[in-house]
Chains A and B, each alone.
Chain A
Amino acid sequence: MNEEVYTVALKSALTEIKRVCPDISSAFILMNDGTIVAGDEQAVDSSLEKAASSLQSLVEKAASVGGLDNLVIDGEKGKVYVSCVNGMYSVMALSKHADLSHLRTVTGVILPTILKVLDSITSETTPPTPLKPAPFVPPAQFRPAPSEPLLEEEEEKIEETVEEAIETPEPLEVAEGETEVEPEIEAEFEDEVESPRQLTDLPSQQLIVDKFGGFMVRPDTVQLDFEVLQRWSSLLDVKEINEVDIETFRGKTTRCKAKVISDQKLEGRGLIRIPEKTCEALELKRGELVRVKPVVPEE
């Protein structure tokens, strides 16, 4: 079965759903690779592609809540309902007072049935086509920081503003047992000695941003606690950590050289000192949290 047949079948399914639910004004199906498989009368234009790409980005980020199941956007003039069906996402624009529960029922029956029939036909005739829905694999899942100061049991309630974060930064307290690598993690690292380590397998830490500048400051070099760098190098079994990857709240990332914090007063406070220019590029402000991961030097 080729792509065209798949598209036609899905298009028919959408038409039928629209017939049952007249509240739907527009609809399309988004594959997990970002392809818009079936659209109705609406042309697949740049705005639709932009929306699809933004939705795909949300699907990736939703890994933190177990993967995207449903999405409802309630606007002044209408709603958008997105639901996950066999790894695909049906996107439907609805009128303001549309009955969502009815739509959920209809979508939850028609689309999976059509897909099941298509899949069964496909498996009987030819090998699976590239369009066959595959389980969604979320990108870069990060492992929680091995020694996180915020994880202390006493600090269940975390509440911070930018000012508070800078005024009362809490020193990094590494519990005695935390520096030791857990057996499972250790085993993972041993397995990966020969292959280049993936970003997802590296330890990470959330640190508070502190800006610094000056005439001789290199914009590509950040400063971290000696303790943090040392812990990473022992965890990863490397001589030293020379580079780190920084990820911001807004999802921006960059790679910088890493050095130990030069100002001793700022040591042990869970800070990462980032040059002003780099902060500007990452749209970072002093006191914000970033996730920092070590980069394993290639040998």
Chain B
Amino acid sequence: MPVKKKIPEVETTGQVEWAPKAEVKEQVTDLRMVLDRVKAKEGVIGYILRASTSAAVDIKDPSKIIDYAVLSTSALESGESLSETFGLGKVSNIIVEGKDLKVLSLTIGEHRVSVFMEKNVDHNSIYKELT
């Protein structure tokens, strides 16, 4: 009796490398929804969400948008720089605490997120909600 040769199963993934990434848009929408939920919390002042080609800003005081955007960029850059210096590996989040406010900055996929809030807001719960 001929022996049936077992064909090894090939693991298939949902997305081939060369195909356009359909998930990205979905991910942005999800992230925006979560951020909008976070923004509604008491003490949260707003957020900045940036990708390589787009940005979404929702800050209560529009005159602060650029200041906050510059701070957000600077926080992420400093985080990377200090992480490199001290060998911390991939940065999961950065908390910049000022005299008046604090900022939670993190990278989710290709998106850079910064959430601005009052100092008494629990940033850990926001971080958990975002990740």
Contact = CB atoms under 8 A, between A and B. Distances in A.
A72 B92 CA distance: 11
B88 A50 contact: no
Nearest to B97: A70
Contact of A65 (B65, B89, B90, B98): B98
A249 B70 contact: yes
B55 to A, nearest CB: 7
Interface centre among A26, A75, A93, A288 (most CB of B within 10 A): A75
Interface string B55-95: 11111101111111111011101110111111111111111
Contact residues on B (Cβ < 8 Å of other chain), bracket:
35 or more
Given A65-B101, A151-B63, A58 B74 contact: yes
Contacts of A55: 78, 81-82
Interface in A65-84: 65-80, 82
Interface string A233-257: 0000000000000010111000000
A67 B103 CA distance: 12
Interface of B: 53-60, 62-71, 73-75, 77-79, 81-103, 116
A162 B54 contact: yes
Contact of B98 (A50, A62, A142): A62
A80 B83 contact: yes
B100 A77 contact: no
B98 A47 contact: no
A61 B100 contact: no
A265 interface: no
Main secondary structure of the interface of B (DSSP, over half): mixed
A82 B97 CA distance: 10
A190 to B, nearest CB: 25
Contacts of A71: 75, 78, 94-97
B70 A66 contact: no
Interface string A89-114: 00101000000000000000000000
Interface stretch (A11-19, A153-161, A213-221): A153-161
A179 interface: no
Contacts of B68: 64
Contact of B58 (A73, A82, A159, A247): A159
Contact residues on A (Cβ < 8 Å of other chain), bracket:
35 or more
A66 to B, nearest CB: 3
B62 A51 contact: no
A150 B63 CA distance: 8
Given A64-B71, A65-B98, A251-B70, 12 more contacts: A51-B84, A58-B77, A58-B78, A65-B101, A65-B103, A71-B95, A72-B94, A74-B92, A77-B88, A77-B89, A158-B65, A163-B54
A156 B60 contact: yes
Contact of A70 (B53, B95, B100): B95
Given A54-B81, A57-B78, A142-B67, A161 B88 contact: no
Contacts of A155: 62
List 5 tightest A-B contacts by C-beta distance, closest first: A75-B88, A65-B98, A66-B99, A76-B89, A66-B100
